[in-house]
Structure 1
Amino acid sequence: MASKSSSNGFRLEVLKARGNGVVTTIENISANATIAELKKQVAQLKPKLYPDRQSYRAEATGKSVKDSQKLSELNVDKTGKIYFKDLGPQIGWSTVFMAEYAGPLVIYLLFYIRPSIIYGSAASSKPIHLAAHLGAACWTFHYAKRVLETIFVHRFSHATMPIFNLFKNCSYYWGFTAFVSYFVNHPKYTPPSFGYAQIYLGLAIFLLSELGNLSIHLLLRDLRPPGTTERRIPYPNKTNPFTQLFHFVSCPNYTYEIGSWLGFSLMTQTLTAFLFAIAGAGQMTLWALGKHRAYKKEFTDKYPKQRKSIIPFLI
């Protein structure tokens, strides 16, 4: 039994989830205090452990609990112990997104102007094929859209992420941008095998997928009231046909994203663009599977049973 410090509170030991040791002890905390309030109290005692860096669980090997949960709901007012995990230095989601999306805008266009340091002094005099022009326009449009969505559309369930993600994500996006743009903008670029028909088909797939992706992001934004982490089951919007994909998958934004890059790959007919599309599809499939499981667990019998994660009828 936890020892009482007063009639209104109890003594709580904050223990490390891994290894031995006490992080700190709070002598008088209410059983009705939430995890969010606990984080603030720990931050007052340990300033380096600001709230976004803290994660808690009722058992050492248990799962992290939500900020909204009360200590009494976790039974820690009876045990007098709660387990802490240091999430490490954090950085804002929007900061990471801005960095990882702004980089590709600049890097791709640097290759597009064919600098002599990369392609040689004669490169700028070579004609640029329509597919390469459209590739630069589509790439710029996609990442400008990403930046604007980060500023005006997305509402994040978590304010921060580990700072390591900044370097990991930027390496992925910036590296693939250089990898793709080097070959699409190369003076010896070979245009698509089926000519303009293939180019315009790829462009149409890209643009329709981008519009679908934006439609899903706007719908998801409206599901979450500003300043909250509330989750609801997403359903199609009757006025927007692009959202009908919610009838079949939990994460149609990822489905459309894959469509965008497959369209780009078809339009430019470059192996590097196709590899970028495949790599992105693999990562987004993992994310979609995780989100699909989370939806089913949170909403149990209410969640539409016919939905797959990302590919209708398959995955």
Structure 2
Amino acid sequence: MYALHKGGAAIKEDMVPGKQSETKSFLSLSQFVLTSGQLGQYALQKHSKISYVEVEILDAQTKKQICVLEKILPSFTIADIKHKFHKACPQWYPSRVGLHLECTGPVLKETKVIKNLAASSIITLYFRDLGTQISWITVFLTEYTGCLLIYLLFYFRLLNLYGMEDIDHCSRQPVVHLACICHSLHYIKQIFETLFVHSLSNGNTALKKMLKGCAFYWGFTIWMAYYINHPLYTPPSFGNRQIFPAVVCFLVCGAGNYFTNVALVQVHKTGIKNHFIRPTYNPFTWLFKLVSCPNYTYEMGTWISFTIMTQTLPVAVFSLMVSLQLIFWAQRKHCKYQKDFKNYPSYRTAMIPFIL
């Protein structure tokens, strides 16, 4: 009897856990089915709660509201805002839209992200019309091609500005031919760099700036070409001793400007921003050891050499104006390099070694 009772107990103990496990599985499955709808609704609610930003755009001059852009994602850039603004106000093309955080503040770059600008869910931007825009590549090609053609018109005397009598009785000095060759090579190089070296396809500027640039460069080219190609033009005071060294310096500075521009473009294309530009194996880039903007140094040297070569007042004035502009750009870039790189060499100057 004991054995049977013990065996029955054993059989009973073996059977109970199985039923309990089946019951637990059934209850778990039932609970999952009952709660799955609630979980789906919770997930849907969580997914639907997307934080949008509302962008209010005001006129920078009148402070009047132009429009309000709703449901703007924080990941949107200023470029996206411009396209949204264009849809709301079709008369304003994205290329001529300038957006500011403050009325008198700088124009926001198109790569700026909204979440880095908005302190709350509502952000106010100020609109300013930048005017008709034109690509930088068009600006430079127009300026450089104009300078090249204008000088050649005076060199070949196609405009007949000097009078036939003077032309018949006066012969050209050799320096006039050298000046034309150097001037043409300079602007052909500039056109080549614009087309094949520099990355300017995404940049735009106002049309009025291009007109100002053309007026400046074309005006000085007319002034220079008129005097250098004039029948009564006299060569430099020291003759060939002054001309040939100036020509050599002109060519060296032109080559140096080209190779430093190529080095700068190659560094920018790599996308590496954690180190500053250093000299390469090319000797023309060794000037990077002493100055931050050797391309500007070579550019200034080019026009100073042309001034010495031709010894004319118009070229001297143009060289001075260009040099002042280059010094301003170089100092601005030099300060930016010092700010961006803590280990930037202290012995480097902006443009002129050990001086400026």
2:177 aligned partner = 133
Higher helix share: 2
Larger Rg: 2
| TM-score when normalising by structure 1 | 0.90
C-alpha distance in 2 between matches for 1:150 and 1:116: 29
1:202 aligned partner = 246
* 1:296 Cα offset (Å): 3.0
1:247 aligned partner = 289
Secondary structure in structure 1 of the residue aligned to 2:161? helix
Runs of 4+ in structure 1 over 4 Å off: 230-234
Secondary structure in structure 1 of the residue aligned to 2:250? helix
* 1:261 Cα offset (Å): 0.8
2:332 aligned partner = 290
| TM-score when normalising by structure 2 | 0.80
C-alpha distance in 2 between matches for 1:189 and 1:16: 56
2:128 aligned partner = 85
Could you tell me whether the CA contact under 8 Å between 2:275 and 2:341 is conserved in 1?
no
Could you tell me whether the CA contact under 8 Å between 1:235 and 1:247 is conserved in 2?
no
Cα distance change, pair 225–209 in 1 and its aligned pair in 2 (3 A): same
Q: Deviations over 1:54-108 (max 9, x none)?
A: 2333333443333222211112543432233322211110111011000111111
* 1:140 Cα offset (Å): 0.5
* 1:188 Cα offset (Å): 0.9
Q: Deviations over 1:148-185 (max 9, x none)?
A: 11111111385101110111011111110111111111
Q: Deviations over 1:241-290 (max 9, x none)?
A: 11111122222111111100111111111121111111110111122222
- The answer for unaligned runs of 5 or more in structure 2 is 1-48
C-alpha distance in 2 between matches for 1:231 and 1:140: 36
Cα distance change, pair 19–76 in 1 and its aligned pair in 2 (3 A): farther
Cα distance change, pair 106–294 in 1 and its aligned pair in 2 (3 A): same
1:172 aligned partner = 216
> Is 73-82 or 244-253 further displaced after alignment?
73-82
- The answer for unaligned runs of 5 or more in structure 1 is 1-5
1:3 aligned partner = none
Counterpart check, 1:149 vs 2:190 = no
Could you tell me whether the CA contact under 8 Å between 1:116 and 1:123 is conserved in 2?
no
- Matched residue count: 308
C-alpha distance in 2 between matches for 1:132 and 1:201: 16
> Is 57-66 or 285-294 further displaced after alignment?
57-66
Could you tell me whether the CA contact under 8 Å between 1:114 and 1:186 is conserved in 2?
no
1:303 aligned partner = 344
Q: Deviations over 1:287-312 (max 9, x none)?
A: 22222233333x14143332222222
Counterpart check, 1:162 vs 2:210 = no
1:271 aligned partner = 313
Secondary structure in structure 1 of the residue aligned to 2:266? helix
Could you tell me whether the CA contact under 8 Å between 1:116 and 1:122 is conserved in 2?
no
1:53 aligned partner = 96
Could you tell me whether the CA contact under 8 Å between 2:53 and 2:122 is conserved in 1?
no
C-alpha distance in 2 between matches for 1:148 and 1:48: 36
In percent, how many aligned pairs have the same letter?
38
